[in-house]
Structure 1
Amino acid sequence: MKLFNQNVRFHALSFLILSFVLMLAGCGGTTSSSNTTKSEGASTKKSADTKVVIAEPMHNLGYLPLYVAIDQGYFEGIDVSITTLAGGGAHTNAVLTDQAWGFIGGPEHNAFANAKGAELRAIINVVNRGNVYFTAASGEELPSGDNLAEYFKGKKIATGFYGGTPNSITRYYLAELGLDVEKDVTLIEVDNAAMTSIIEKDQASIAVISEPILTQGIEAGIWTEPFVNVPEDLGAYAYSTINIKQDTIKNNPESVKAFVSGLKKGLQYVKDNPEGSYEIARKEFSTMDTDVLKKTLDRSYADGLWEFSGEITKESVETNLSVVKNAGMLKEDITYDQIVVMSFVKP
C-alpha cells in the first residue's frame, strides 16, 4: 500500500547536508537513495526537538499520509525527516543499528528480527491492503467466471524478486487456488521496473505489479485492467506500518506519542481532503505524469489502501504472517503482541 517515483530537487547547500545525512544512514553496503522529505517548517524547529528519521524502502505513493503529516507540520516537539534506503532489509537494519528512529514496512520484518532476538514493534498502521494486482498482457484471453486455477496453469507469471512482498503474495495467492508454484506455473522474478519489458517481449503473459506502473502500462496498452485485485481479495493486510525499537518505547515514549499523534492527523487529512492530498502528492512525485498520478490516487482510495484510524488489527497481521510463512520466509510462531503495540493509537 510495493507507487514509486523519486523527487530529487536540491539547492547546493541542501545537497551537501543531504549527502551527509545519507552517509550516516547508509547500512552495511546498501545504497541509500537521494530522496529526503522534510517539513517546510523544519528549519525553524528548536534544536532541542527530538530528531526522528524514518527509513523507507522506496518513495511510494502508499506512504502519502506520512508525507502529508510532514508537509502540514503535524509533528509537534519532534523533527521528522525521511530517508530512502534501497536494497533488501536496509530500512530495517537502519533502525536496528540506531541510524534511523523508525522504518516503514510490513510488520513481518519485526517478526524476522524477533526470531533473531531483536525487539521491534509496529506502532501505527499506514497501508492496510496487499498493494499488488494481477494483470494480463494485452490480447491475452482473460479468465471467465471463477476458474482461475485452470487459467493460471502453464502460464509464465512475472513477479518481484523472492523475499519481497509481491513475490510472497503471488506464491500465497496461487497456493490458495491449490496450485504448486514449482510445477503448475513458471515465475519470472524481476524488479518491478522490468515488468513492462518482460510483457512486451512475450517472456510472460501475466504480471503481478503495483502502482504507478500498473496504470502506466494500462495507458500504454501493454496490459489489461487487473483481473485479480489483491487489495480487495485479501482484505485487511498490514502491508506497511511504522516500526521502531522496543527500547524507544520504554526510554522515550513522548517521542512515540508525538509521532503517532502527528501521523494520525496525516491519515485523517488524506481521508477528508483528497484534493489537498493530490496537491501534496504532486510535490512529492513531481516527475510523474499528472494523469497517471490522479488515476493511481483514485485507485488507492477505491481499494481502501489506508487504515485511516491508524489501528493495526490482529486480522491484518495474521494475513501478513500467513503470506510470509507460506513463502518459507518465517518458520517461527510469532504472536501479535510480540510485534505490535497499539497503546499509542488507542490509549
Structure 2
Amino acid sequence: MKALHSLRKMMIGLGLAVSVIPFQAQAKDMDTILINEAFHSLLYLPVYVAKHEGIFNDYDIEVPVVRSAGSGPAALASVLAGESQFSVHGPEHVGFAQEQGGSGKAISAVANSAPVWALARPDLDYTSPADLAGKEVVVGLAPGTSNTLIKRLIEEAGLEGDVTLTEVQNGSELGPVLSGRGDIAVTYQPQVEQGISQGLKIIHAFTDDYPEYAFSTINTSQEMIDNNPDLVLRFVNAINDSLALIHTDSDVAKAVAREEFGDLSGEVVDAAVQRMIENNVYPKDVMITKEAFTNAIEMQQFVGNIKSEMYYDDIVDDSFSIKAVR
C-alpha cells in the first residue's frame, strides 16, 4: 500500500493530479467521518477509490464506512442532523432542504454528464429520435432521471402519444426487451453493459445530449463549512485526487469497482467503468459547473419535481473546488 501511495504521489508531482495540500510525511491525528450515499452505485466510484486507495488518509481523513441511506433526502438529512459529515446525491436535494429551512451546500462534483443510455435489439433500426415512433420504451419509475430524460426526448421529437412508455422498477428495464415484450430499454450502468453482453446495442446516449449535467454531488452542511472549513477542503481535495487517478489509471478504478460490486461480472464492471470514464460521467475535477447545475435543475423543472427557481449561488459553494483544482 505504501508503494502505491508513493507512486500516486509521484504522479501528482508530475502534474497528473493536482492538489493544493502537500503530503504530510509525519503521522497526524485523523479526522474520522461518515459519508452517507443515496444508494450504493458505480456512479459514486470516486468516493470508493478515495477510500480504497488511501487518498482520504493522505489528507488525514479516516472513512470507516460509506453508508447507503436509501435516498438522497435521507442521506442529506443525516448530514443536516449532524450524524454524518458528507452526503452523495443530486444537488436538487440541497435545494429542497433549503426550502424546508435546511442549510446544506453542494461542494464537489462526483458524477457528471447524464449517465443514461437507451438499448435495443440488434434488428431495430434507429438513426434519430424520430425512430421511436410506434415503439414500446421500457424505463424506470418516475421521477427518476432516466424517466425524465426519455420523456423530454419524446416531447422534443414531437412524438407524444406515438410512443408507448412502460415504467418498471429501476434495475429491471432489460427484462421486457430481452424477452421481446418491449423494444427499447432506457437504463443506467451496470445494466447497460449487462444488456450489451446479452446481445443488445446502444442506440442513444444521453451523455452525448448532456455532457455537462450535475447528476450527483458531494454535499455538506453550512455548519460544517463554517466550523471546519479545513476538513471540508481536505475532503474535496481527496475527491479531486481520486478523479485524477481514475482518469490516469483506469485499471485502479476498475479494481476498486470490482471489489465494491463483487456480485457483478468483472467484465461488466470493467466495461461500465470504462464507458463512464470516456463519457465524462466521472469528471476530471471537482468543479460543479454552472452549465451542469443548470441542466440538472432544468430537467427537474421539466418533469415538475421543482416548481420554483433554484440558483447556483444559493445551492453550490464552489470555494473549495476552486482551491482544489488550482
CA–CA distance in structure 1, aligned partners of residues 293 and 306 of structure 2: 14
CA–CA distance in structure 2, aligned partners of residues 189 and 99 of structure 1: 35
Q: Deviation digits for residues 86-143 of structure 1, max 9, x if unmatched?
A: 256322332233332221111111122223332221111111111110112353x222
Name the SS of the counterpart of 1:286 in structure 2.
coil
Q: Which residue of 2 aligns with 1:170?
A: 150
Question: Shift of residue 334 of structure 1?
Answer: 1.1
2:267 is the counterpart of 1:279: no
Q: Which residue of 1 aligns with 2:77?
A: 93
2:195 is the counterpart of 1:217: yes
2:311 is the counterpart of 1:330: no
Q: Which residue of 2 aligns with 1:77?
A: 60
CA RMSD of aligned residues (A): 2.0
Question: Shift of residue 266 of structure 1?
Answer: 0.9
> Which stretch of structure 1 is more off in the superposition, 282-291 or 128-137?
282-291
CA–CA distance in structure 1, aligned partners of residues 214 and 122 of structure 2: 32
CA–CA distance in structure 1, aligned partners of residues 148 and 120 of structure 2: 19
Asked if the contact 1:311–1:345 (Cα under 8 Å) also holds between the matched residues in 2, the reply is yes
Q: Which residue of 1 aligns with 2:125?
A: 142
CA–CA distance in structure 2, aligned partners of residues 56 and 166 of structure 1: 19
CA–CA distance in structure 1, aligned partners of residues 86 and 147 of structure 2: 24
Going from structure 1 to structure 2, the CA distance change for 1:216 and 1:123 (only over 3 Å counts) comes to: same
Asked if the contact 1:136–1:142 (Cα under 8 Å) also holds between the matched residues in 2, the reply is no
Going from structure 1 to structure 2, the CA distance change for 1:171 and 1:115 (only over 3 Å counts) comes to: farther
Asked if the contact 2:104–2:219 (Cα under 8 Å) also holds between the matched residues in 1, the reply is yes
CA–CA distance in structure 1, aligned partners of residues 234 and 62 of structure 2: 10
Aligned length: 294
Going from structure 1 to structure 2, the CA distance change for 1:93 and 1:188 (only over 3 Å counts) comes to: farther
The residue type equivalent to 1:95 in the other structure is V
2:183 is the counterpart of 1:226: no
2:43 is the counterpart of 1:62: yes
Name the SS of the counterpart of 2:150 in structure 1.
helix
Gapped regions of structure 2 (runs ≥ 5):
1-26
TM-score, length-normalised on structure 2?
A: 0.84
2:132 is the counterpart of 1:152: yes
CA–CA distance in structure 2, aligned partners of residues 100 and 202 of structure 1: 45
CA–CA distance in structure 1, aligned partners of residues 32 and 322 of structure 2: 24
CA–CA distance in structure 1, aligned partners of residues 313 and 96 of structure 2: 14
TM-score, length-normalised on structure 1?
A: 0.79
Question: Shift of residue 55 of structure 1?
Answer: 1.4
